[in-house]
């Protein structure tokens, strides 16, 4: 089992995304992720995530989306978490609004790392209880309760 908490920093969380549509949500999440010292170029990261999103939506259903990219603009795996209180249309597979967003950025040479992160997040987000905990989360510790401790 992979420790997701080691890829998420307290400064990479937004409990109230302001975005009203998919593109602005991705922009907002990339902006959030770019606070990490592992992100070398936010514009390149944004371009990579948008290109990936054009292939097929990363709105996986259950109110969850995993926009992601492998790019040379990051030096390590980074997760940024955003929550939309109202939910927004992310062209999710189940056609329902998305409330919980995990932006995952990984270096180009990190072959399995981002897949492992996405697999673990997918597993955790299958649980309605975990999704509800993230909807109700008030602080970083609440997020870590779901993603697992960093120790």
68 noted as active-site residue: yes
3-state secondary structure of 41: coil
Distance, first Cα to last Cα, the chain:
14
**Active-site choice (68, 70, 83, 114):** 68
Per DSSP, 93 falls in state T
DSSP-derived secondary structure letter, 28? H
The helix (run of H) or strand (run of E) holding residue 145 is helix 140-147
Q: Which residues contact residue 47 at a Cβ distance below 8 angstroms, ignoring those fewer than 6 apart?
A: none
**Residues with a known catalytic role:** 68
């Amino acid at each position: 089992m992979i420790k997701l908490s080691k890829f998420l920093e307290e400064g990479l969380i937004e409990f109230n995304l302001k975005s009203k549509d998919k593109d602005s949500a991705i922009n907002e999440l990339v902006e959030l992720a770019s606070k990490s010292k592992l992100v070398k170029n936010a514009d390149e990261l944004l371009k990579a995530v948008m290109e990936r999103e054009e292939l097929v939506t990363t709105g996986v259903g259950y109110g969850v989306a995993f926009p992601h990219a492998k790019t040379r603009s990051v030096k390590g795996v980074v997760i940024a978490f955003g929550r939309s209180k109202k939910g927004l249309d992310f062209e999710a597979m189940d056609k329902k609004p998305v409330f919980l967003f995990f932006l995952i950025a990984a270096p180009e040479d990190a072959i399995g790392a981002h897949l492992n992160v996405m697999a673990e997040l997918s597993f955790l987000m299958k649980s309605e209880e975990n999704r509800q905990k993230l909807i109700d989360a008030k602080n970083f510790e609440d997020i870590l309760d779901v993603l697992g401790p960093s120790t």
